[in-house]
Amino acid sequence: MDTSIRKDRLLSQKWLRTLINLGGVLLALVIAWELLNLVIGRQCDGKCITDTLSQMLRVATPIAFAAFCGVVCERAGVVDIGIEGKMLTAAMVAYAVNLFSYQWLQSMMEASAAGTLSRWLALLVGILAALLLALLHAVSSIRFKIDQIISGTVINILALGVTGYFYRQFLAENLPAGPGTFPKIVIPFLADIPVLGPILFRQQPLTYIMILLAFLLHYVLFYTPWGLRTRAVGEHPRAADTLGIDVLKMRYTNVLIGGLIAGLGGVWFTLEAVDVFNPMMTNGLGFIGLAAMIFGKWMPFGALIGALIFGLGNSLTTTVSIYRPDLPSQIPQMLPYLLTIAVLTGVVGRAAPPAADGQAYEKQ
């Protein structure tokens, strides 16, 4: 067979798969919409729909970052369940930096400029804090070949203790006023598109970064040498090594990049969602992110869709609770999980992780 035909066939199969996936998602959305209307009796009008969907995107942001972190690490063969801890640490560090650098910067410039500067500074320092934890994970699991699950758990426990301690010591009371969260960025023209505008183009910066990152990761993973090497290292490190790829270096890089991405998810809590910090405020979203990654079959867009479904479940919970106060509150609260299970069993087939996922690599 001619190679070009084979390539065409492969391509068409790929497109078909994508199409089927998209169709499945659409179908799920339609079913969800009809079920919703059964419950709330078509009370959700235009504004309520855009509100719900834009909330979906906001809630999905930290989950998507966590999922991307998982994709980047696990594609290179390193399981990272310490995402939650990294997010929590980044959230706290960003909160503290935002608050205190604002005080300091205010003496030098006007308040609004100081606010902007301190928020971006906080974002930077926050993701660097997550990077440090990622480094700990990388060194212990790649260099010292400690079981990756254990190393991740250690990071989660460490983050819980450290953030709790610093919170009690320095961040619990008598705090100065902070500069607040990132303001919304309204993209000119695009924001005026009906329905899509308010959902996609009136968001805060991290939400935009999250969407762009999905495209970037997809491109990098599947269309660059770095991506090819990453996948090779995650599937068959021995073969990659034979071809001259430095397996350990690839894994280090990926875990560290994953740490930065998890950090973005963490700073979302204190720079974009609310301008307060409290212990355990990440509330397990790091783990939900891992679920989104598995749902998305270790693909960036798949992970994004997984995060969006969970986000949608969350925002629907609120909508249903508002319109049906007579229902026991636990019923709408089950929605995100029910929706996830339904989609997982109905649309997605078997998910296979990268073959060398979770295995330490020993050079021979």
Partner 1 sequence: MKKVNLLLVLVMIAALALSACGGGSSKLKIGLVTDVGGVNDKSFNQSAWAGVEKAAKEFGWDAQYIESKQPTDYEKNIDQFATENYDVIVTVGFMMGDATAAKAKQYPKIKFAIIDNAYFPTKDSKACDDTAKDCYADGGLKNVTSLMFQEDQVGFLAGVLAGGMSKTGTICSVAGMEIPPVVRFVVGYQNGAKWIKPETNTLNVYVPSFIDPAKGKETGVSMIGQGCDVIFGVGGNTGNGGLLAAKEAGLMGIGVDVDQYLTYAEVKDILLTSAAKNVDVAVYEYLKTVKSGAVKAGINTANVQNGGVGLAPYHDMDSKIPAEVKTKVDEALKGLKDGSIKTGYQP
Distance CA 156, CA 81 (A): 8
Report the residue number, 135 or 175, with the smaller CB distance to partner 1: 175
Q: What x-and-dash track marks residues 161-180 binding partner 1 by CB under 8 A? A: xx-xx-xx---xx-x-xx--
Report the residue number, 144 or 189, with the smaller CB distance to partner 1: 144
Report the residue number, 51 or 235, with the smaller CB distance to partner 1: 51
Give me the half-sphere count of Cα atoms (radius 13 Å) on the Cβ side of residue 320: 24
Number of residues that bind partner 1 (CB under 8 A): 50
Report the residue number, 10 or 276, with the smaller CB distance to partner 1: 276
CA distances from 167 to 91, 161, 164, 240, 277 (A): 11, 10, 5, 45, 8
CA distances from 306 to 245, 300, 312, 334 (A): 32, 10, 10, 17
Report the residue number, 20 or 157, with the smaller CB distance to partner 1: 157
Please give the backbone phi and psi of residue 276, each rounded to the nearest 5 degrees, phi first: -135, 160
Find the shortest distance in angstroms from Cβ 258 to partner 1: 20
Alpha-carbon Rg for the chain, nearest whole angstrom, is: 22
Tell me the one-letter amino acid at 91: A
Per CB under 8 A, does 275 bind partner 1? yes
Could you say which of 3, 42, 46, 144 contacts partner 1 (CB under 8 A)? 144
Segment (H or E) for 155:
helix 148-166
Per CB under 8 A, does 359 bind partner 1? no
CA distances from 74 to 39, 68, 81, 105 (A): 40, 10, 10, 40
Per CB under 8 A, does 150 bind partner 1? yes
Q: What x-and-dash track marks residues 304-343 binding partner 1 by CB under 8 A? A: ----------xx--xx-xx--x--xxx--x----------
The tokens for 87 are 């997010």
Binding site for partner 1 (CB under 8 A): 47-48, 51-52, 55, 58-59, 140, 144-146, 150-151, 154, 157-158, 160-162, 164-165, 167-168, 172-173, 175, 177-178, 181, 269, 273-276, 278-281, 283, 314-315, 318-319, 321-322, 325, 328-330, 333
